[in-house]
A = this chain, B = another copy of it.
Amino acid sequence: MIMKAFEAVLAPNNDLSGVRGLLTSLPEADATAEAAAAARNGELTKPPGALGRLEDVAVWLAGWQGTPSPAVTAPAIAVFAGNHAVTQRGVSPYPSDVTAQMVANFAAGGAAINQICQAGGIRLSVHPMDLDHPAGDIAAGAAMTEDECARHFADGMAAVPPECDLFAAGEMGIGNTTAAAAIYAALYGGDAARFVGRGTGVDDAGLARKVSVVKDALAHHAGNLGDPIEVLRRLGGREIAAIAGAILAARLRRVPVVLDGYVVTAAAAILHAANPAAIDHCVAGHCSAEGAHGEVLERLGLKPLISLGLRLGEGTGAALAMSMVKAAAACQSGMATFSSAGVANK
C-alpha cells in the first residue's frame, strides 16, 4: 500500500494530484478492536473512568493498532528541517544558518529533543530538506513548486520507520512559525495577527514585521488559497510538506500519531482541511505557548495531553506526551481484571 502511495505521490505529472488522491481514500480505525478494548477497560482493577483521559487514549490506540491490547514498544520521532527565504524580512532573531547548525546539534545528541527521546526510549531520526535551498519567500511568491512539494511530501512518507508503533514528527526551521501562521490565516481567515506568535523570541518590532509579512503573503496569494494542498505549496515550506507526508504515511499504515506544536499542527491542519477525517489517527501531544495553538487545536477537535508552556518545536512536546500514551497502553494491556486478581467489584 505504501509503495503504491509513493508511486501516486511521485506521479509522472510532476503535480500534486497524487497527494490529493491519497487523501480521498484513507483506512479507518478498527471498530471491533476499539469495542473490545473499551469492554476490557471496564473489567480492569480500577473504578470506571478513574484513569481519566488515559482510558480514551488506550481505546483510540486499540482502534488504530487493531488490537484490544495496544502497545507502545517502538515509538519513533522524525525531525524535519527546512529553511525559509522569508527570514530575509526579519521575522526571526536567529539567522537561517541556525537551522543547519541545529541539525548538526541533533546529530551530535546535544538538543532538547535528543535528551527527551533518550529519557523516554524514543527512536529519533533527523531529515534535513534541501537546507541550501530555502523555500521561496511566501510574501512574494510560492514556497515550493508542485514538483518540490510532492517530492518533500514523499520524503516525509519515507521517514516513518516501518516498525514503529507510535509516531511523531518534529521540526526545525528558522522562519517556520511565520509559514505556520500564514497557513492558519489562510485556512481559518479573520485577522492574521492572531495566528502570529513570537516564535524563537522576536521582540515587539519583530512581531509587527511577522504580522506584516503574513498579511503580505495572504495578499500576494489571494484567490489561490481555496485548496488546502495549494495553501501548503504556496505558504508552507519543505519541512512542512514532509511532515504532512509523514502524518499521512502513518495513517496508511494505521500507525497512531502524536502531534507536536504550532508548526507540526499546521501540516496536520492542511490535511484536516482537505479531509476532516484525515487526522483521526492523531492525538494532540501538547498545547504550545506559540501563537494561537489552543484555538487551532480546538478547530481540529483535539485536546492536548499536556500543557507546560513549551514553544521549542523539534518534537519536544510530542516526545513528552508519548510517555502518557505509552502509560495508557501499558495500563490497558497489562492490568489485571477484577476476576483475574480476585478483587471485589462494587
Residue A189 is within 8 A (CB to CB) of chain B in the complex: no
Is B341 touching A108 in the complex (CB atoms < 8 A)? Answer: yes
Chain B residues near A289 (CB, 8 Å)?
Answer: 52
Question: Contact at B344–A110, with CB atoms within 8 Å?
Answer: no
A54–B314 alpha-carbon span in the complex (Å): 15
Q: Does A187 contact B (CB under 8 A)?
A: no
Which chain B residues border A4 with CB–CB below 8 Å?
A: none
A110 to B54, alpha carbons, bound, how many Å?
17
Instruction: Please judge, given known A-B contacts A310-B52, A323-B323, whether A101 and B336 are in contact too, CB under 8 Å.
Output: no
Residue of B at shortest CB range from A54?
B308
Q: Are B47 and A115 in contact (CB-based, < 8 A)?
A: no
Interchain CA distance A289-B46 in the complex, whole Å: 15
| Stretch of A10-18, A135-143, A238-246, A326-334 that contacts chain B | A326-334
- CB proximity to B under 8 Å, residues A23-60: 44-54
The distance in angstroms between the C-alpha atoms of A116 and B308, with both chains bound, is 21
Q: Which residues of B contact A330 (CB under 8 A)?
A: 115-116, 118-119
A92→B309 CA distance, assembly (Å): 38
Closest to A116 in B: B327
Interface residue ranges of A292-338 to B (CB < 8 Å): 305-312, 316, 319-320, 323-324, 326-327, 330-331, 334-336
Which 9 residue pairs spanning A and B have beta carbons closest together?
A: A110-B336, A52-B309, A323-B323, A93-B346, A115-B330, A50-B312, A115-B334, A47-B200, A53-B308
